Amino acid sequence: MLNENIKAIRKSKGLSQEELAIKLNVVRQTISKWEQGLSVPDADMLISISEVFETPVNILLGESVDETRADDLKVISEKLEVINLQLAHRKTTIQKVIHWLFISLCVVIVFIFSILITLNSPYLGWDYNNPETSVAGVIFHAFEWLFVRISPFALFGAILGICMTRKKV
């Protein structure tokens, strides 16, 4: 059983007898004898083998280990295909969310612009001798001034973003 497990794990790790022998500091013939069941590694060597294989010693000594088969590769490829489909779906969902965020940004900018046009800078007629009114007027004026200068660039960027994130047919 040990001989079959050493051979199966060595092959599943993609190691030749020579490569395993180099890692364990033994000759290739020793590996061959272990795999044929003609000799058995001592306890220290079993620990070294388990470290090289990254496998617990009880697995080496326990039940038989099957080699990786083409069926296992098929299962792995099917799982990878499912993962790729999930990632593609996630990417599409994120693209849709970003697309609608750009559309929302355009709507908000147009809405605020229409409110500012409708209000027609009411703070210009306020009494600035009152401290509360003067602070509110300065804040409103600063907002309007910044918005009018920055929003055209934001609107252009949002429209560009809408064009770049639209679903391609």
Q: What is the pLDDT of residues 65-93, one digit of tens each?
A: 555 555 667 778 888 888 989 999 999 99
In this prediction, residue 98 carries a pLDDT of: 95
pLDDT value at 168 more than 80 = no
In this prediction, residue 135 carries a pLDDT of: 93
In this prediction, residue 66 carries a pLDDT of: 54
In this prediction, residue 71 carries a pLDDT of: 63
Neighbours of 130 (CB within 10 A): 11
Look up residue 77 and give its two tokens.
Answer: 């490829």
User: What pLDDT, in 10s, does the model give residues 24-64?
Assistant: 999 999 999 988 888 888 888 888 898 998 888 888 887 65
Domain boundaries, the chain: 2-61, 70-165
Contacts of 154-159 with CB under 8 Å at 24 or more apart are 154/105, 154/109, 155/105, 155/106, 155/109, 155/110, 158/102, 158/103, 158/105, 158/106, 158/109, 159/102, 159/106
User: What pLDDT, in 10s, does the model give residues 92-149?
Assistant: 999 999 999 999 999 999 999 999 999 988 888 888 898 989 999 999 999 999 999 9
Neighbours of 39 (CB within 10 A): 13
In this prediction, residue 108 carries a pLDDT of: 97
In this prediction, residue 107 carries a pLDDT of: 97
Average pLDDT, the chain: 88
**CATH code for the part of the protein at 2-61:** 1.10.260.40
Helix intervals (H) in 54-130: 57-61, 70-119
In this prediction, residue 89 carries a pLDDT of: 92
**Among residues 1, 3, 11, which one has the least CA distance to residue 53?**
11
Angle subtended by helix axes 131-165 and 70-119, to nearest 10? 140
